[in-house]
Chain A
């Protein structure tokens, strides 16, 4: 089980969307987020939902997989809904008892904002479901490369991300081992209040940190031994190419954005 954890939830099937250039996907995700914020009516939201549904179809990603991405945020979405439901001033009162007051405006606003949150999550889920962590970090590195001119460490950032991804499963395994070893000495990670549980983490975190530092030192030596000397003069095994499908995807997104803008003007 531990072995299958990668960052996010990459869904490894083949599709046109999976094969898009990650840089394009990153940029389009940002545009999508802008579109979500720009939509002003439920009609706009209907467009956005249709767009999400369509992309998931082309990506061969089952819609329920997509919806799973909402699970960790369901409390926040619920909270958003309830807060807006009860505390939005409005005129058409639907329910009133004691201090509780639910208005039509409140309900609509609650629905609107919760949906917005949901769409943001769904949009980014689409990105992580169709783009492997390796491709993502490649995309980020290449997008940030122009910033090297202002001394932004794009390459170093990408290297850090790759190494972090590489070591996540290894560190998880090590955490498991350390936990078992400390449990064998009577450590209790489960019971007690917040403070005692935080204290109980020390025998877990200290060894992990110590080991992480040691790994870092070893890895640095190994990297230098293989002639690593920073980003200068490095070539790449994986080369990203922008294809016709990428332009089509941009076109579709531009269309969505245009429709949203129009919706904002006319509705």
Chain B
């Protein structure tokens, strides 16, 4: 179910002195099954964009088409359309409210009008996706769990709706390295297993390098770059000019190349660098 964004513009406080352009003529298409990362500085428009993709915000101009249908069109059943798009906000654990993990995860499917059997099945499915053991956690209160676990319950709540597209806004924000790894592994597995089109908004270049197959780079309301991580991280100057960093490995590669070493221009994974550096060393000592 592809998402197509056409010339999307969003202005806050339209018609007043405080008018700010949050999104400026943004266009792109997300295809089925992709894992797309959206990166940008705070204020680049990432969060605004994400809220448009789910129909929470109306464009000032332009369109958002989901499966060919205009999300903000006249005769569109927005609620139904919205439920095909799963949106996980930042710090989603703050939205938990039910007495048990099971009930909270069931909230989404219940709103979708599913039968009790279907709901129960969805809850199990979702908990499995986020690696929370059903027997251990289903009946417990979500407020007893650790921060990372609560986050996974919140994500499960969206996954249980079986959306065709999963959009996550900074899924690793505020987590320690262990929590972060768990979430990223879970997302990667979910994407691989269920082939859910996934969009992840993040500040972390490392997270993006690990998971994204394609990156949309945003700055000041515009999409300034659209390509694979390999292509994007090779453009150090562009990235630093808009206030973003590139992964350490990519920077190492750029510095060494600038110093005259024979390395491919677009390395960004530490493993790749390791091979090449060993090669360089062995060649050097062979003299």
Q: In their complex, do chains A and B touch, with some C-beta pair under 8 Å?
A: yes
Partner-A contacts on B (CB < 8 A): 13, 51, 54, 56, 79, 82-83, 86-87, 89, 92, 94-98, 107-108, 110-112, 143, 157-158, 161
- Select B82's contact among A181, A182, A184, beta carbons within 8 Å: A184
Closest B residue to A180 by beta carbon equals B56
Known: A186-B112, A203-B97. A181 touches B92 (CB 8 A): yes
Q: Are B157 and A185 interface neighbours, CB within 8 A? A: yes
Q: Are B86 and A184 interface neighbours, CB within 8 A? A: yes
Known: A203-B97, A207-B95, A207-B97. A185 touches B54 (CB 8 A): no
- Select A184's contact among B13, B56, B97, B143, beta carbons within 8 Å: B56
Distance in angstroms between the alpha carbons of A127 and B107 in the assembled complex: 46
- Select B54's contact among A1, A184, A187, A206, beta carbons within 8 Å: A184
Q: Are B111 and A185 interface neighbours, CB within 8 A? A: yes
Q: Are A183 and B56 interface neighbours, CB within 8 A? A: yes
Q: Digit string of A233-250 for contact with B (CB within 8 Å is 1, else 0)?
A: 000000000000000000
Distance in angstroms between the alpha carbons of A211 and B95 in the assembled complex: 9
Closest A residue to B57 by beta carbon equals A180
**What are 12 of the A-B contact pairs (CB < 8 Å)?**
A181-B87, A184-B86, A185-B107, A186-B83, A186-B108, A187-B111, A203-B97, A203-B107, A207-B96, A207-B97, A210-B97, A210-B143
What is the total number of residues of chain A having a CB less than 8 Å from a CB of chain B?
19
Residues of B with C-beta under 8 A to A207: 94-97
Residues of B with C-beta under 8 A to A185: 107-108, 111, 157-158, 161
Q: Are A206 and B97 interface neighbours, CB within 8 A? A: yes
In the assembled complex, A13 has its CB within 8 A of some CB on chain B: no
Q: Are A177 and B111 interface neighbours, CB within 8 A? A: no
Q: Digit string of A184-228 for contact with B (CB within 8 Å is 1, else 0)?
A: 111110000000000000110011001100000000000000000
Known: A203-B97, A207-B94. A184 touches B111 (CB 8 A): no
Q: Are B95 and A186 interface neighbours, CB within 8 A? A: no
Distance in angstroms between the alpha carbons of A159 and B83 in the assembled complex: 44
Chain B interface SS verdict (over half): helix
Distance in angstroms between the alpha carbons of A203 and B103 in the assembled complex: 12
Distance in angstroms between the alpha carbons of A185 and B82 in the assembled complex: 9
Q: Are A184 and B112 interface neighbours, CB within 8 A? A: no
Residues of A with C-beta under 8 A to B107: 182, 185-187, 203
Q: Digit string of A42-76 for contact with B (CB within 8 Å is 1, else 0)?
A: 00000000000000000000000000000000000
Q: Are A188 and B111 interface neighbours, CB within 8 A? A: yes
- Select B89's contact among A180, A188, A202, A210, beta carbons within 8 Å: A180
- Select A178's contact among B82, B95, B143, beta carbons within 8 Å: B95
Residues of B with C-beta under 8 A to A202: 97
Q: How far is the CB of B94 from chain A (nearest CB, A)?
A: 6
Distance in angstroms between the alpha carbons of A210 and B86 in the assembled complex: 24
Residue in A177, A186, A210 whose Cβ sees the most chain B Cβ within 10 Å: A186
Distance in angstroms between the alpha carbons of A206 and B100 in the assembled complex: 13
Q: How far is the CB of A184 from chain B (nearest CB, A)?
A: 4
Residues of B with C-beta under 8 A to A188: 79, 111
Q: How far is the CB of B85 from chain A (nearest CB, A)?
A: 8
